[in-house]
Amino acid sequence: MTDTEKHASAAGPQAPATDPALLDALREHVQGALPATIADLSALVRIPSVSWSAFDPAHVRRNAEAVAELVRSTEVFDEVRILRSAVEGDTPADADTVVPGEETVELGQPAVLAVRPARNGKPTVMLYAHHDVQPQGDDALWETPPFEPTLRGDRLYGRGASDDKAGVMTHVAALRAVHAQFGDDLDVGIVLFIEGEEEFGSRSFRTFLREQREHLAADVIVVADSDNWSTEVPAITVSLRGNTTFKLTVTTLEHASHSGMYGGAAPDAMMPMVRLLASLHDDDGAVAVAGLTAHDAPVPERSEADFASEAALVAGARPVGNGPVLSRMWFQPSITVTGLDVPSVANASNTLIPTVAARVSVRVAPGQAATDAFAAVEAHLRQHVPFGARMEITEVDAGDGFLVDATGWAVQEARTAMSEGWGADPVEQGIGGSIPFVSDLAAEFPEAQILVTGVEDPDTRAHSPNESQHLGVLHRAIVSEAILLARLQGRA
């Protein structure tokens, strides 16, 4: 998970300190095992486990098997399973399917599930991460091959090195440390859930939750798929925007025509598409769609100059939108065109383009349902399509945002564990990105306390070329999670 711009507030109350001898033992184990942890992470990075439908699913299956073997190596679980659940919605003709009876069911990508039941009244914690990755994009933009892990300085480069295979290894390494300390006397319940298609919309996630609800139920859920304030300061994410994406197609002609013969009278598809997309924002670059809401809450100050530097704006470019910078990224909606299907400049001919398609991503303010946001955007587009062009909206995906309750005992335990693991108090931050399944977890397990943590930092570049994992952050994240599990072991 990336696309983040962050807001931080002072950390709340912490739980009492951990026993110093226990801290030393956990730190020593994590430190000693770190070379093996990095080697295991590197092996996972070498598997191109892109979960998108256009990529070979065999790599995701192979990666799930590799993750399952790592989970077995923790010696925490009696059984480790690789499972697939049905995708919600229609089944494409070319989908990976099974046929129970006469029904054709599309299956999602494989997840890894392992469960250790709680004993002696101890709480149960679910540890979540995902083992699939984004496509690497243009190989030419990578300084080193995307699926060949490369160590430069204190960072390990490669697709998925951070998002989220480092999250997977944080759980695995923390469990190894806790098992080394407690052995078979470990009474805290542990559910390890490693998803296989988070980067492809978690299409089977809700089905999986329903089917495995009895095994997944937990008092605390740790989602290791976010980032940190810096490489030296940890963070607990307390606010997430939702997201809805769709494919927008505009057609004006039955076929391409000579631009000299018909141009000036016949509308090419690019003309209404450009006008339609431009209607989504006002002259300040703020979203101009009626029905999209903002969340009302204070944010700290951040200057536009600081933001411009952090966001790498080119000289002369200015930020867009209105209101405090952090509010725009955390509490307000945004709309981005993330792709266009048009002829390339190199292959452009003197013709009127009959059809143009765009991929549109809408970030939804926390508190508004993603389906309501999509309905508002769809209504706006239908009202503004020019020249009588034919407009189609397909491939709709939606996920709600989330506001974390930071007042529970589990958050206090996490604050203490992070402070002891990092040597710095955590901040509570909001992010502009989306983890839609968090709201699904909250709906399915309303009594569970949810902690959104992670191993990324501002220089990770997840989803982008030259993604990397800072190894100091990985080390501290493992120590912190091991401390948290040990503290839950000691909790009545």
The tens place of each residue's pLDDT in the chain, 492 residues long, gives 434 344 455 566 788 999 999 999 999 999 999 999 999 999 999 999 999 999 999 999 999 999 999 999 999 999 999 999 999 864 444 445 555 554 578 999 999 999 999 999 999 999 999 999 999 999 999 999 999 999 999 999 999 999 999 999 999 999 999 999 999 999 999 999 999 999 998 999 999 999 999 999 999 999 999 999 899 999 999 889 999 999 999 999 999 999 999 899 999 999 999 999 999 999 999 999 999 999 988 887 788 888 898 888 999 999 999 999 989 998 999 999 999 999 999 989 999 999 999 999 999 999 999 999 999 999 999 999 999 999 999 999 888 999 888 889 999 999 999 999 999 999 888 888 888 889 899 999 999 999 999 999 989 999 999 999 999 999 999 999 999 999 999 987
Taking Cα atoms as reference points, which of 366, 189, 385 lies closest to residue 272? Answer: 385
Tens of pLDDT, residue by residue over 49-76, are 999 999 999 999 999 999 999 999 999 9
- Which residue type is seen at 312? A
Taking Cα atoms as reference points, which of 33, 27, 128 lies closest to residue 479? Answer: 27
Cα–chain center distance at 485: 23
Tens of pLDDT, residue by residue over 206-258, are 999 999 999 999 999 999 999 998 999 999 998 899 999 999 999 999 999 99
105 to 60, 110, 212: CA distances (angstroms): 19, 15, 18
Taking Cα atoms as reference points, which of 15, 123, 2 lies closest to residue 426? Answer: 15
d(CA 39, CA 30): 14
DSSP string, 223-248: EEEEE-SSSSS-EEEEEE-EEEEEEE
268 to 263, 264, 439: CA distances (angstroms): 8, 9, 42
Beta bridge partners of 112: 82, 194
d(CA 413, CA 420): 11
Taking Cα atoms as reference points, which of 172, 226, 238, 191 lies closest to residue 478? Answer: 172
Taking Cα atoms as reference points, which of 157, 107, 112, 160 lies closest to residue 135? Answer: 160
pLDDT at position 98: 55
Q: Please say whether the beta carbons of 50 and 168 come within 8 A.
A: no
Q: What is the DSSP letter of 139?
A: G
Taking Cα atoms as reference points, which of 245, 222, 311, 223 lies closest to residue 3? Answer: 311
d(CA 94, CA 102): 17
pLDDT at position 94: 44
pLDDT at position 302: 81
Q: Please say whether the beta carbons of 287 and 333 come within 8 A.
A: yes
Taking Cα atoms as reference points, which of 486, 5, 440 lies closest to residue 210? Answer: 440
Omega before 78 cis (within 30°)?
Answer: no
pLDDT at position 380: 98
Predicted structure pTM score: 0.84
pLDDT at position 489: 95
pLDDT at position 404: 85
pLDDT at position 379: 98
pLDDT at position 163: 96
d(CA 380, CA 280): 8
